[in-house]
Chain A
Amino acid sequence: MSSTQTPVPSVLHGSPLVESAGQSVLFVDKDRYFAVLTSLANDGFEMCVDLTAVDFLTHPGRILPTGIAVERFEIVVNLLSLRNHERLRLRVQISESDATIDSAFDIYPGTEAMEREVYDMFGIVFRNHPDLTRILMPEDWDGHPLRKDYAQGRIPVQFKGAAS
């Protein structure tokens, strides 16, 4: 189901590094995610500006470097190096059956709210997160809205505490 990226990618911390529209993208294996983040933080990427996810349920045939298996979810992490004026994007494949990943909180405390948002919107569980609860939706909400199998404008609308 996956096709391969044309150029042979370079390697950073054991993970393939690809140029995409002039931006550096690192494809990290889920098990090595935390270790790679630690190394990158030591390399001078002081700030994690953004952490989000994509649900590729209806678009599985995307282009990935050789050796990276296509999974349903993808965690996208944007790192910034203030001293080198450099950005780096990490893409981590997350399978539907085991939608868990290590939390980056211990390295980048600023990911706390972002990981809660991803958990809320996609149902991906972050291990060792201090307070993994829904952040934007009510606590008793069913489903994860940004998943592709969660229909837009689906009825019935859930209202908290309303008599059903």
Chain B
Amino acid sequence: MTDVDDVISADTFEGRQELQSRAVLSAKEVLREVGAVLRMSETDAALLSEVDTVAAEDQTMIINMGPQHPSTHGVLRLMLELQGETVLRCKPIVGYLHTGMEKTGESLTFMQGGTNVTRMDYASPLNNELVFSMATEKLLGIDAEIPERAVWMRMLLSELNRMSSHLLFMASNGMDIGAVSMMLYGWREREEVLRFFQKVTGLRMNHNFIRPGGVAADLPAGWRDDVLGILDMLPARLAEYDILMSGQPIWRERLQGVGVITRQEAIALSATGPILRSTGVAWDLRRDMPYLHYDEVDFDVIVGSYGDAYDRYAIRLAEIRESMKIVRQILDRIPSGDYRIQNKKVTPPPRARIDESMEALIHHFKIFTEGFKVPEGEVYVAIESPRGEIGCYIASDGSATPYRLHVRAPSFANIQTLPHMMRGGLVADAVAVISSVDPVLGEVDR
């Protein structure tokens, strides 16, 4: 064998993590990769495997898509088995962004934990902080004592974050489908929201602003005008999106009927958020298992009827409008008062007290170096993030750090729907399907 042959036939195969030839796989695994979800009758299963054996190995090709493909949202890697341009099998391969955040979380105190979880879903950091704070508060037993202003502030930030995340989706979805100008518009509008976050929290992303016990600071002067500015600016811009995309024949052709999933399949695959709602299941934790004060505001849960990529696009666009509706109600109802709980256990003393009181200085030092102890127990709290149900499971052994911190990442469950949505579609539609799932690999890999 020559050197060239060696290079060509070099063994790049990494093993069973990857998509393998059908010959070495069990029937169950093949079915999983062709996207079979529900239990099928023997005949259906036989039919499916028959179709696939006809496509003999020499007619099909296994290709890699990603992890560096620009449309795979970070470092998602898909291995696709193609016959011509038709996708027969698909396997998402993840882990390229894995940095052991759950392990890191075990050595950070509950005080510091927010800095860790906020980096998981980097497109909606405030929702991550919110679910972590709510889980910690539930363990501490102070979840009912959070001041009203803090609760409404949390809702305000959560909804604005949902808007910025969906605007980012509008941008990336447009870019993936080929409406590249959409990318600029989406980022432009998102930037307005991030500018507000910067004013409130000091940072555009990864805020660590929502903390156990409340929020880190009160809203800055002039915040109401800033929010109103966003609310007044957006409707006209969203109307432009409708002109540019929603009603446009090319856009519809590209998305309608692509990546279809049914209600039963979405539920079986633990898909939540816009994917589940696109199949017609009106399930939104904000309405169906209310937290904060979502039961006191008026908004609609948007559902689709076809479960395709267009529905998921339209749902997200409509959810921006629903969030704006909620934000307006929050502006009317947000009370004045304390922005964090006055409980010396979890709340550091005010800055001014530190200058005049030795005890306050010690208290401040202790709470930031040692944190606060959380009673033994375990708790699972879930909220509706822009991508679906984000849950936080904390097991505490009574110390100041979580014994086990687990985040139920919506994208992690949602990308399991990819093999199903891809099957039988064209490889060009694969990009549209990935985009419509809107995965954030930071929370997939954690």
Contacts and interface: CB of A to CB of B under 8 A. Distances in A.
A23 B379 contact: yes
A52 interface: yes
Contact of B391 (A50, A54, A140): A50
Interface in B368-394: 376-380, 382, 389, 391, 393
A9 interface: no
Contacts of B15: 133, 139-140
A102 interface: no
Question: What size tier do the contact residues of chain A reach?
Answer: 35 or more
B380 A46 contact: no
B103 A21 contact: no
Interface of B: 14-17, 26, 28-29, 31-32, 37-39, 94-95, 98, 100, 102-104, 106-107, 138-139, 141, 267-272, 281, 283, 288-289, 376-380, 382, 389, 391, 393, 395, 397, 403-404, 406, 408, 412-413, 415-416, 445-446
Interface of A: 20-23, 46-50, 52, 54-56, 59, 62-63, 76, 78, 80, 82, 85, 87, 89, 106, 108-114, 117, 121, 130-131, 133-140, 145-146, 152
Contacts of A62: 376, 397
A150 to B, nearest CB: 8
Contacts of B395: 54
Contact of B380 (A78, A113, A134, A138): A78
A113 B271 CA distance: 12
Contact of A89 (B31, B289, B380): B380
Contacts of B413: 49, 110, 113-114
Contacts of B16: 131, 133, 139
Contacts of B269: 109-110
25 contacts: A20-B379, A21-B141, A47-B267, A47-B268, A50-B393, A54-B395, A59-B403, A78-B380, A78-B391, A85-B288, A85-B289, A87-B380, A89-B380, A109-B38, A110-B413, A112-B32, A113-B416, A117-B412, A130-B31, A131-B29, A131-B32, A135-B17, A136-B446, A146-B103, A152-B103
